[in-house]
C-alpha cells in the first residue's frame, strides 16, 4: 500500500525525478564550475544580454531572492555585472562570462544526451508536457 501512495503521488514522483535530474545536471555542468541554475542564467544572458532581474526570474521560473543570490555569486566571479539605467538594474554578461558559452552549451547538450539515451524522444515530449502542466498549475495559484 505504501508503494502505491508514492507512485500515485505527483508531488513525490516529480520531486524524485527532480532529484535524479539535478544530479545529472550537476554532473553535466561540472566542467563549468557552476551550478545548473547559474549556467542556465548565463544561457539566458547569451540570448538576451541587458535583461532585468525580474525578467530573468520570469524566464527561469525562479523567485526574486534566488535570482539575486545567483547574480551575486556570478558577479563575484566576474561573469556578469549590473548596470543601473534609469529605474532599472540591468544584468550584462562580461567577457569572462561570454568565454564560458561553449562549455556551458556542451554541458547542456551532455545533459540532454544523457537523458535522451535512456528515454529517447520521450524526454523532449515529457519536458514539453510538464511545461504545459506547470503553466496550468501556476494559473490556479
Contact residues for 20 (Cβ-Cβ < 8 A; gap 6+) = none
Closest among 98, 67, 94, 99 to 83, alpha carbons compared: 94
* Residues forming beta bridges with residue 52, ordered by sequence position: 90
Instruction: Answer yes or no: pTM beyond 0.75.
Output: yes
Number of domains in the chain: 1
**Looking at the chain, how many residues does it have?**
141
Give residue 95's domain range. Answer: 2-140
* Number of CB atoms found within 10 A of residue 76's CB: 9
Sequential pLDDT tens for the chain (141 residues): 777 888 889 899 999 999 999 999 999 999 999 999 999 999 999 999 999 999 999 999 999 999 999 999 999 999 999 998 888 889 999 999 999 999 999 999 999 999 999 999 898 899 999 999 999 998 886
Instruction: Tell me the CATH number at 119.
Output: 1.10.10.10
The CA-based angle 128-130-134, given to 5 degrees, is 120
Residue 125 and residue 3: Cα distance in Å, rounded? 26
Cell of 138: 501556476
Amino acid at each position: 500500500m505504501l508503494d502505491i501512495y508514492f507512485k500515485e503521488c505527483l508531488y513525490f514522483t516529480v520531486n524524485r525525478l527532480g532529484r535524479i535530474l539535478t544530479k545529472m545536471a550537476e554532473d553535466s555542468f561540472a566542467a563549468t564550475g557552476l551550478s545548473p541554475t547559474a549556467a542556465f542564467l548565463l544561457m539566458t544572458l547569451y540570448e538576451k544580454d541587458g535583461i532585468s532581474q525580474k525578467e530573468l526570474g520570469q524566464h527561469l521560473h525562479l523567485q526574486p531572492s534566488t535570482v539575486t543570490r545567483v547574480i551575486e555569486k556570478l558577479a563575484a566571479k566576474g561573469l556578469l555585472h549590473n548596470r543601473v539605467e534609469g529605474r532599472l538594474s540591468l544584468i550584462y554578461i562580461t567577457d569572462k562570462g561570454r568565454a564560458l558559452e561553449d562549455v556551458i552549451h556542451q554541458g547542456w547538450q551532455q545533459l540532454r544526451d544523457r537523458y535522451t539515451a535512456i528515454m529517447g524522444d520521450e524526454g523532449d515530449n515529457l519536458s514539453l508536457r510538464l511545461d504545459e502542466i506547470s503553466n496550468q498549475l501556476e494559473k490556479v495559484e
